[in-house]
Amino acid sequence: METSTANQAGTIRIEQFPAGLEDGRPDARTMGWFEAVRAGFHDGAPEPEHVAEQAAGYVADGRILRAAYDDEARPGAWGTEIPVATYGTMVHALNVGGGRQLPTHQITGVTVRPTHRRRGLLRSLIIQDLEQAAANGLAMAALQASEATIYGRFGFGAATFTRSIDVDVRERFQLRSSSYGTMELVDPAALLDLAPRIFAGFQAGTMGSLDRQYSYAQVAAGRWQWEKPEPNRKLRTAVHFLPNGEPAGYVAYKFAGWDTEPHTMKVVDLVASSAASYLELWRYLGSIDLVQRITWPMAPVEDPLPWALADARRYAVKSEEDMLWLRVLDPAAALEARHFERDGTLAIAIQDPLGLAEGKFRLDVDGGRCRVKRLDSAAPADLTLGVDVLGSLYLGGAKARTLAGAGRLDGGDAAVDRLDRLFGTSAAPYCITHF
């Protein structure tokens, strides 16, 4: 589908289109989009053969691209075929508890050229897109924020978090648990098939997990690198097999080089479908000779690893960052899709700067299922909160008591406690999918 519109600048038009290939090469519009995205994220100019592979992956993902063009040519300036702003979307499933999966509208590749800031381009792109997603029946949108101050005003709230960790694996590294199943070093190419199978187990059992796009299996298999679709010849991969022979976890990793002190192995991707498999992957990593440190930027906030180590001080948290940001588009559909661990009733008033989720709603939860009824505007509400706050609360990754203390929601202590009980989860949500 293609659309064209003018924004307040008058000379700007916005088009929507799928990634396109002609005789195996990216078409001009797709090539221009990638050129603008790479400039926006400070990468070098794209190579056509790389863009062709990425565009084929985008087609597999069902991605839709948006681009804003300035048709006013100026001497020496970039050609008008290169967008001044970019925006991309796709849809994957989000685990919302109890194994339930909610189709979620993902936003990626957002850039605005510095020369065209403060013209309403981002606002035009995001509002058009969110309105279209809502009209298409999608109840939730998601993104990962490169700048934390931008997206709250559009109704997004940080919903999951990860840790960057260093683990000292010198002589005294030891796990308290007995080994389980077997570990095998495998050819990275085997991960092209095994990685999606193993991740499916993780996805099914992990609240907050977002299903993965085409590029992940390519990276795990060493066919692509994160930076570009070229082989990663430094990659090594190992798989954990259960006693019945079923693959249950994998790790892809690479050596940082002999000039790095202490000698460090970097985890590129680590996925386990159970806690037991997770520990076996770390047992394997800790047994690699000539390595003193393992680094991983995607560890869970509630990580069992330090508790499994004979010496927990070998585990160091270097930083904690927000990962997945959520934006509710349809409160009734989103809340009725989610699994709840506790029963209860609550009336909430949602404030939405874009009007998509605005209103008052009564939540009646029984047996893990939530029924949502829209209330009259004059009806009383127990709590008032912004749609961005609802996004942070939705998976249980933020506590209502904490947000109330930060002045982010209005309500009495009893109502705040009821909100925490209702939305609370036994495990913190966890997402390891970048997009």
Tell me whether residue 110 is annotated as binding. yes
Tell me whether residue 74 is annotated as binding. no
Tell me whether residue 321 is annotated as binding. no
Tell me whether residue 123 is annotated as binding. yes
278: annotated active-site residue: no
Cβ contact 64:15 at 8 Å: no
Rounded-to-integer distance, Cα 275 and Cα 273, Å: 7
253: annotated active-site residue: no
Please tell me whether residue 421 adopts helix, strand or coil conformation.
Answer: helix
- Record the tokens describing residue 305, joined without a space: 């690893």
Q: What's the farthest any 2 CA atoms get from each other in the chain?
A: 70
Task: Supply φ then ψ for residue 314, to 5 degrees.
Answer: -75, -10
One-character DSSP codes across 189-209: GGHHHHHHHHHHHHHHH-TT-
Please tell me whether residue 76 adopts helix, strand or coil conformation.
Answer: coil
Tell me whether residue 177 is annotated as binding. no
| Cβ neighbour number for residue 229 with a 10 Å cutoff | 20
- Distant-in-sequence, close-in-space partners of 313: CB < 8 Å, separation ≥ 6: none
| CA 381 from centroid of its chain's CA atoms | 32
What's the burial of 115, exposed, middle or buried (CB within 10 Å: 0-12/13-18/19+)?
Answer: exposed
Tell me whether residue 287 is annotated as binding. no
Tell me whether residue 342 is annotated as binding. no
Angle between helices 28-40 and 48-61 (to 10 degrees): 100
Residue 302's H or E segment, with its range, is none
- Record the tokens describing residue 9, joined without a space: 């600048």
- Active-site residue among 173, 278, 340, 435? 435
Tell me whether residue 121 is annotated as binding. yes
Tell me whether residue 63 is annotated as binding. no
- Active-site residue among 58, 151, 161, 340? 151
Please tell me whether residue 305 adopts helix, strand or coil conformation.
Answer: helix
Tell me whether residue 122 is annotated as binding. yes
Cβ contact 382:411 at 8 Å: yes
Tell me whether residue 29 is annotated as binding. no
- Using alpha carbons, list the distances in angstroms from residue 248 to 57, 222, 252, 294: 26, 19, 14, 21
Q: Which active-site residues does the annotation give?
A: 151, 435
Which amino acids are annotated as binding site, given as ranges? Answer: 110-112, 118-123, 146-147
Which amino acids are annotated as binding site for acetyl-CoA, given as ranges? Answer: 110-112, 118-123, 146-147
